[in-house]
Amino acid sequence: MSKFKRIETGIEGLCIIEPTVFGDNRGFFLESYSKKEFEEIGITEEFVQDNHSKSKKGVLRGLHFQTKHSQGKLVRVIKGSVYDVAVDIRKGSKTYGQWYGIELSAENKKMFYIPAGFAHGFLTLEDETEFQYKCTDIYAPQYDSGIMYNDKDLNIDWKLEEYGITELTLSEKDKKHQSFKEYTERYQGDHVLLTGANGQLGQDFQKLFDRLGVKYIATDYQELDITDKEKVREYIEKNNFTVVINCAAYNNVDKAEEEIEKCYALNTYAPKNLAEICREKNIIFVTYSTDFVFDGEKKIPYTEEDITNPLSVYSQAKLEGEKYSLEYEKTFLIRTSWVFGMGNSNFCKQVINWSKDRDILKIVDDQVSSPTYSKDLAEFSWDLIQTDKFGLYHFSNSGEVSKYEQAEYILKKIEWSGKLERAKTEDFPLKAKRAKYSKLDSSKIENIVEKKIPHWKEGIDKFLEEMEDKV
């Protein structure tokens, strides 16, 4: 006979557990957890973290969940009492949006098992209440999220009148959670508008989304002119987008010195318009900028806090686009550098093409940054989007290198037999001024998504493999 009685709630996986209590005139004894005994009643998950909180009467915590590292919880009260609530937010669940509440107390000694995929909250009914819970996954603050405790669609009865509670105490965070409707719109599947979809970053986003099963609409200039604000608004209004990712840009740095209006239209006013429309529709906005916003006078990697000083029309237009984009509080703005991928032309492709009909190549050795593999940029961007930690970020592959050294690595990989010579930026008649050093410090995004960014050489190796597969 098991030492634990499992009582079903009507919501699959969600159950009440009553431990066997041994009591006499001395007090009582019970087992609060046994791996073997729990397996016998159908709870096989491994618990990896224990938490303990203390609250006064009338404190309401929740409704909490994590967008990644979803936690299953085994909750109990060791002093005082709570009214505990779990809401089913599991994709595809027959009971999606249903909730169940139960009183847990030191006196009744009941436990509540809440599987991963639920939002959880509790109301303390007595002063000095102590609450304990075991978790099946780690606490990951970057994926911390929540739903309002008093959401009108969930309509949770917290039994305030029954428990004689006239005033609630909530954290500032718990006062600002999303509605269940807002969560559901995102939860039912991100629906992404992808602009500039034919570029190298846009193409890699499409491959990523196809692999992950993310719903998206990919557009390029022919499908959607993002410089036309009213057409963009009309297009977005016709679709239920949850995220807009703007990969479109004017990237001809030298030509921008002459095509100023065109450069500003795409790099400044298009992201401005997109950010404003996203604010109107409460849509997450993602856009990209460049290491060119820095003047290159610094000798160590640039952080997000460093002062900008653009040296060209292109970089000035990008910087102004940044400022407009960041006026919207739900913007992810990601600066990057020396992007290369399968789509469009880039320095890696140029080096390979030059090597086909030249015996001597001259490459500048006085421009230093880090090449960025567009596939890595897409994947880390998507991981970042899941965190809801909006703001400005830097992303480039790890390591730093000159253009000369980058070319040298590529040419060795493809076994070119010609001669590579060093040159200086001033040796070439470029209309736009370049920064000599523009390596980006990407530690902020690494820390947020808890992933190590690959080295630029790894990116080039994978890129060359892609090139071979395409041939």
Does one domain contain both 360 and 233?
A: yes
Is there a domain that residue 40 lies in? Answer: yes
d(CA 117, CA 45): 13
Q: Do 206 and 169 share a domain, yes or no?
A: no
Residues 47 and 68 placed together within one structural domain of the fold: yes
Asked if residue 171 and residue 209 are part of one domain, the reply reads no
Based on the fold, state whether residues 164 and 235 are members of the same structural domain.
no
For 412, the enclosing helix (H) or strand (E) is helix 403-413
Written in H, E and C, the secondary structure of 148-207 is CCCCCCCCCCCCCCCCCCCCCECCCCCCCCECHHHHHHHHCCCEEEEECCCCHHHHHHHH
Would residue 331 count as lying in a domain?
Answer: yes
Is the overall model pTM greater than 0.85, yes or no?
Answer: no
pLDDT number for residue 1: 62
Report how far apart the first and last C-alpha atoms of the chain are (Å, whole number): 66
Q: Is residue 299 part of a domain?
A: yes
Q: How far apart are CA 281 and CA 236, in angstroms?
A: 9
Phi first, then psi, for residue 261 (nearest 5°) are -60, -45
Within-domain flag for 222 = yes
Q: Which of 421, 411, 433 is nearest to 363 (CA)?
A: 421
Same domain, 173 and 193: no
Judgement on whether residues 84 and 41 belong to the same structural domain of the protein:
yes
Active site residues: 64, 133
Residue 455 domain boundaries: 189-470
- Of 148, 177, 206, the one marking the end of a domain is 177
Please give the helix or strand (H or E) that residue 124 lies within, else none.
strand 118-124
pLDDT (tens digit, 9 = 90+) per residue, 41-72? 999 999 999 999 999 999 999 999 998 788 99
Domain shared by 172 and 201, yes or no: no
3-class DSSP assignment, residue 237: helix
Is 182 part of any domain? no
Whether residue 241 sits in one domain with residue 324 = yes
* 120 and 149 part of one domain: yes
Q: Are residues 380 and 257 in the same domain?
A: yes
pLDDT tens digit string along 294-342?
A: 999 999 999 999 999 999 999 999 999 999 999 999 999 999 999 999 9
CA-based radius of gyration for the chain: 28
Q: How far apart, in whole angstroms, are the C-alpha atoms of residue 192 and residue 182? A: 15
Query: Whats the size of the chain, residue-wise?
Result: 471
- Could you give the count of Cα atoms lying within 13 Å of 50 in the half-sphere of its Cβ? 5
CATH number for the domain harbouring residue 124:
2.60.120.10
Count of structural domains within the chain: 2
Is 183 inside any structural domain? no
CATH number of the domain within which 286 lies: 3.40.50.720
- Give per-residue pLDDT as tens, 78-112: 999 999 999 999 877 899 999 999 999 999 999 99
Domain boundary among 125, 155, 177: 177
Residues 19-49 have pLDDT tens digits of 999 999 999 999 999 999 999 999 999 999 9
